[in-house]
Structure 1
Amino acid sequence: MADEQLTAGTPTRARWRTLPAALRIGILYLAARVVTTGFLVAAAAMSGPASRFGENATIADLVLGWDSQWYWFVAVNGYPADLPLTETGMVAENQWAFMPVYAYLANIVGLPFGAWGFGAVVISLVAGYFACLVLYRLLRERQDVGAATWATVFFAAGPLAALFQVGYAESLFLLWLMLSLLCVLRRRYGWLYLLIPLMGYTRPGVLAFALFLALFGVWRWLSRRREPLDAREIVHIVALGLLAAVVGFSWQVIAGIVTGDAGAYLATELAWRRNWIADASGAFIPFDGWIQAAGFWFGSWGLGAVTGYVVLAASVIAVAAVLIFEPHVKRVGVELRLWSAAYLVYLLAVFFPQSSIFRLLLPLSPLWGAVAAPKSPVYRFSVLAACLLGQWWWIHGMYALGNTYWQIP
């Protein structure tokens, strides 16, 4: 068996293999959370005067820091009808950048305890476990038990694993995403009519799912001789793609209606970009963020803007080649590769890359299946060690150092 590295050889390991998948994943997830908690405690102890959290920080300060404060503010105050402005008259950072599902659900869960933060962390922890379990089920559609298990371990203990236990919406979004991808793989489209709105109002990204469904529909049409494509499935794919697009754009419409400013949401998002590009005050232009960032970052590093543009173009070509040709990536299946391509195009279209880019890459987590495909025990434990090292590097940078502008999760 491919999973003998984890499950065979001794009576204990043999019994491990007989445990239900939900229990095995739960034990691995709990072990990963213990390690992450240790890292967070150490980061709190190392927090100093230059950190956002200051001296004498506690783990509670860390897990409810950064964007957690925005979700709490949404839960307590809702969304502004009048957009806040900076001294120069530009739209300032505000709640419209944060979707409502996680904020209000945390309020409901934390209400009996009188603590929004308690509800937020509980939701992140629970959703993270189920996201891991669904990822395992998702990868088992195309891969063996060993690869699916190791991929889930890398996911649960990866560089961004702290997000499973802080007040961010990522865990909940990943759960909806993994369930949605599993539904597509199993051709069970009915649940997507619920999952797509949940995804769309938990955090931005559902427009990438709309693009994915469009690409998936084209692929299903081209492959209909290998797998029959009936009218019912065509209707589902088209209807769900339209639903995802409507949900994706609806938040802009809602923000415009409430504030009386049709560009309220995009202006709010651009407010964050001005932390790096001071004149990022014009209209939103798709793909412009990466082009601006290539010039900005490489210019700041003394390498020249042209070098940045060349590196950006080469990176796009290299990533496309990996998704199309790399053998281990191909093993995860066409659907997950199409999702990865759609999400990367979405990021290129809407995001300005800075330190948050690591967090924004989390929806690509199904590709852990490709990373886990090689069966060498030395390789897999080396990847796990790299994951833990990366996790500490990220926690230390974002929380122990926690500079307001240069270490933002």
Structure 2
Amino acid sequence: MSSTPGDRAAAEVSRPAGDLARSVPRVVRGPRPRGPRAWPWWVQTLVVYGLARAVSAAILVAVSRAQAENPWTGAAPPYLVYVARMWDASWYEQVWAHGYPADLPVGADGQVQQNAWAFFPLFPFLVRALHLATGAGWDVLAPTVALVCGAGAVLLVHRLVATAGRAAVVRRPGLPLATVLVVSVFPSSPVLQVAYTESLALLLVAASLLLLSRCRYGWTAVTVLLLGLARAVALPMAAVVVWHAFVRWRRGELSPRDGVRLGGLFVVALVAGLVWPWVCTLVTGTDQAYLRTQEAWRSGAAVVPFLPWLDVSRWLLGGAGAWLLVLLLLAVAGLVLNPVAARLGPEMQAWAGAYLGYLVATIQPGTSLVRFLLLAFPLGAVGVGWTRSRAWLAVVVLVGVAGQVWWVWELWRLVPPSGWPP
């Protein structure tokens, strides 16, 4: 006997739940990604960083074969010695072993001489603590600490771009990993595995920006204070805090309580930027001891804001130097203020502008500028964020690796009796 439509409807209702589930058509999904694309983000990040550091290690080993005997190493030193003792690494080793002098050393001409007070304490003291726990020594621990800090830094850079820079990631989904790649192959990126403080500073800068973007102001204060003991780069964070507060206020998101907390964080950033010069003066009893020490690296010339850039541009290019310097500063301003930088979020955009402005105000431009620019990592995101072209990214990587060869050969390698510092 044939059934009516009503009978069929009743039968459907009375069918067991399992039968109903089996009657629903399956949603056809695409194939799951295989290979590296299926790895968790942190694995991809560490693989990129590890491969880049392996390339840098190969370059350092190759160049070390041509290293002549110098004040820090013998000829053709082993890898660990080469990355643990050259250039400023020897100053950090001195702090690690002996601490800081109670008095500033003064030459026969009455000028303060180069001394350990120019180098911040967090990195060598961290290595000292690990040495007391393990007995492994400076040559092993210092490059290892730098390498591990660099790994932590690129993980935080990835998270920072992926979260604070969501608007940019929507337009270029691979931007977080691409930024990690650009940072990892930057011409001065070998410094991330030598006994310098760049990797620790990069870790603390990225942590501060990430915490600030998530409105974790108490933890941001902690990382900013640590940054003030790692490198002389904490003061720009005060400008970042101000811009973060302004953006939240303009969006109507700033409560009175958060306004007070951000005011306190602004004060913390100022203190972090000034605490080490204050400690230098307090311990040595010499007024402006940190500035007097910095002048020793400028052959006694006074530390004057901005002027060294104009002097160097005129020295290099004569009368046209000042105009070309203006064009360079305008180009940098264009990078910081363009829409791609804005989509990275107010924290990264403000850091890029404040940090570069701070460099112009405080340093004497020279070969070390290539190393200092590593901390301006948001510009790396800007450089790869305006296009999805893999060919462009490949060009950036090739240029970065070639730049590493130049940086290690021309700057890290010393041809006695003198050379340009890295």
Q: Does the CA contact (< 8 Å) of 1:160 and 1:394 recur in 2?
A: yes
Between the two proteins, the alignment pairs up a number of residues equal to 384
Change (3 A) 1:258 1:395: same
Change (3 A) 1:402 1:364: farther
Shift of 1:49: 5.9
Q: Which of 105, 109, 116 is the matching residue for 1:88?
A: 109
Shift of 1:34: 1.1
- Output one character per residue of 1:210-234: Cα deviation in whole Å (capped at 9) or x when no partner: 122223333333x233xx1111221
Map residues 215-234 of structure 1 onto 2, 5 A cutoff: 215-221=243-249, 223-225=250-252, 228-234=253-259
Q: Which of 203, 206, 210 is the matching residue for 2:238?
A: 210
Shift of 1:381: 1.1
- Output one character per residue of 1:22-68: Cα deviation in whole Å (capped at 9) or x when no partner: 11111121111111110011110122368975632332232021111
The match for 2:403 is: 390
The reply to whether residue 135 of structure 1 matches residue 140 of structure 2 is: no
The match for 2:82 is: 62
CA distance in 2, matches of 1:404, 1:199: 34
The reply to whether residue 180 of structure 1 matches residue 199 of structure 2 is: no
Q: Which moved more, 1:142-151 or 1:67-76?
A: 142-151
The match for 2:186 is: 158
How big is the alpha-carbon RMSD for the aligned residues of Structure 1 and Structure 2?
2.1
- Output one character per residue of 1:295-330: Cα deviation in whole Å (capped at 9) or x when no partner: 3x32xxxx32x32222222222221122213x4333
The reply to whether residue 236 of structure 1 matches residue 261 of structure 2 is: yes
The match for 1:354 is: 366
Q: Which of 229, 242, 255 is the matching residue for 2:280?
A: 255
Q: Does the CA contact (< 8 Å) of 1:155 and 1:365 recur in 2?
A: yes
CA distance in 2, matches of 1:197, 1:210: 12
TM-score (norm 2): 0.86
Q: Does the CA contact (< 8 Å) of 1:67 and 1:168 recur in 2?
A: yes
Q: Which moved more, 1:396-405 or 1:102-111?
A: 396-405
Unpaired segments ≥5 residues, structure 2: 1-29
Shift of 1:132: 0.6
- Output one character per residue of 1:51-95: Cα deviation in whole Å (capped at 9) or x when no partner: 975632332232021111111111111111211112322111111
Unpaired segments ≥5 residues, structure 1: 1-8
The match for 2:392 is: 379
The match for 1:3 is: none
CA distance in 2, matches of 1:236, 1:149: 33
Of structures 1 and 2, the larger Rg is shown by: 2
Q: Does the CA contact (< 8 Å) of 1:108 and 1:119 recur in 2?
A: no
The reply to whether residue 29 of structure 1 matches residue 42 of structure 2 is: no
CA distance in 2, matches of 1:56, 1:201: 34
Change (3 A) 1:338 1:54: same
SS in structure 2 at match of 1:205: coil
The match for 2:16 is: none
The match for 1:265 is: 290
The match for 1:4 is: none
CA distance in 1, matches of 2:308, 2:258: 36
Q: Does the CA contact (< 8 Å) of 2:69 and 2:75 recur in 1?
A: yes
Q: Calculate percent identity across the aligned residue pairs.
A: 32
Matched letter for residue 48 of structure 1: A
CA distance in 2, matches of 1:359, 1:87: 33
Matched letter for residue 244 of structure 1: A
SS in structure 2 at match of 1:66: coil
The match for 1:5 is: none
SS in structure 2 at match of 1:372: helix
The reply to whether residue 290 of structure 1 matches residue 302 of structure 2 is: no
